[in-house]
Amino acid sequence: MSNVTIYHNPGCGTSRNTLELIRNSGTEPTVILYLETPPTRAELVKMIADMGISARALLRKNVEPYEQLGLAEDSFSDEQLIDSMLQHPILINRPIVVTPLGTRLCRPSEVVLDILPDAQRGSFTKEDGEQVIDAQGKQIKN
């Protein structure tokens, strides 16, 4: 069983790049397709706490339920926002990666490098052609 978990949406480029950065470190993570298997309330609350962010900071804004539910208004409590995310998992921003070194919302995908237990094993280029890891496994700072 892997000690790295990614809450993944294969339809999202950032999520795919993050998954490949994890694999580039030699780790095969536990992949949770969170749109099909959403986290429980307890799991979601723990991830938000572990990331040190508010529930609002985890909300995806450019999806239909966000507008329909009027979530742009500041009148919702964290509990209500969590309820909305559990009812509409598409509202959970992604990818979220959990490792022994921490939990992060990996946007951009390179954020995952801060919490991976193992170093990168070779070069890595994002889907858009941006090289982020050189042949020696070192991050390229742009």
User: pLDDT digit string (tens) for 37-46?
Assistant: 999 999 999 9
Q: Which two tokens stand for residue 123?
A: 């070069």
Q: What is the largest CA-CA distance in the chain?
A: 49
In degrees, to the nearest 5, what angle opens at C-alpha 14 toward C-alphas 88 and 74?
45
Please tell me the predicted confidence (pLDDT) of residue 103: 98
Domain residue extents for the chain: 5-133
Write out pLDDT tens, residues 80-109: 999 999 999 999 999 999 999 999 999 999
User: Average per-residue pLDDT in the chain?
Assistant: 96
Q: Which fold has domain 5-133?
A: Glutaredoxin (3.40.30)
pLDDT for res 59? 97
Give residue 90's identity as a one-letter amino acid code: I
18 phi, psi to nearest 5 deg: -60, -45
pTM, to two decimals: 0.94
Q: How confident is the model at residue 135 (pLDDT cuts 50, 70, 90)?
A: very high
Catalytic: 106? no
Q: How confident is the model at residue 2 (pLDDT cuts 50, 70, 90)?
A: confident
**Phi and psi, residue 24, nearest 5°:** -65, -15
Q: Which of 12, 31, 63, 69 is catalytic?
A: 12
Residue 1 has pLDDT above 70, yes or no: no
Positive/negative CA dihedral, 25, 31, 34, 35: positive
